[in-house]
């Protein structure tokens, strides 16, 4: 694996602007909260970028890299990791336009979940 990547917060923000997503899905459960929110930050590319995503995961110290035949995806689901790593990254290196709006809604949900206000 080549490891000549120079990840900076602004680079990660720019990459996310085009190839990232902030998603809130809802997991249906049988007990407790019937629908539990599940925030996910992800970046996706073709399988050719697998080395870069593995290096990014090591650089950030959070997340998981998933692969299939055609694509590779870097995913962060943990509320703790979202709060400690992802939110500060985009608070300090802001996104723009519609992606910023998506991030701000995502951020609000993650912080509500961190404070257990979703219960």
Q: So what's the pLDDT on residue 2?
A: 52
Q: So what's the pLDDT on residue 31?
A: 79
Q: What is the pLDDT along the chain (119 residues), one digit of tens a residue?
A: 456 789 999 999 999 999 999 999 988 888 777 788 899 999 999 999 999 999 999 999 999 999 999 999 999 999 999 999 999 999 999 999 999 999 999 999 999 999 988 76
- Whether the CA torsion 36, 77, 21, 93 is positive or negative: it is positive
Segment holding 81, helix H or strand E: helix 79-81
Domains and CATH numbers, the chain: 9-114 (3.10.28.10)
The whole model's pTM is what? 0.90
Tokens coding 14: 């720019």
DSSP string, 17-75: HHHEEEEEEEEE-SSSSSEEEEEEEEEEEEGGGHHHHHHHHHHHT--EEEE-SSEEEEE
């Amino acid at each position: 694996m080549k490891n000549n990547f120079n990840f900076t917060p602004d680079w990660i923000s720019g990459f996310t602007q085009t190839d990232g997503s902030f998603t809130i899905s809802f997991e249906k459960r049988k007990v407790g909260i019937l629908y539990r929110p599940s925030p996910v930050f992800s970046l996706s590319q073709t399988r050719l970028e697998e080395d870069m995503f593995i290096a990014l995961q090591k650089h950030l110290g959070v997340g998981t890299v998933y692969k299939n035949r055609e694509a590779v995806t870097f995913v962060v689901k943990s509320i703790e990791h979202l709060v400690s790593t992802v939110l500060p990254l985009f608070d300090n290196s802001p996104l723009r336009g519609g992606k910023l709006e998506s991030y701000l809604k995502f951020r609000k949900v993650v912080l509500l979940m961190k404070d257990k206000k979703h219960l």
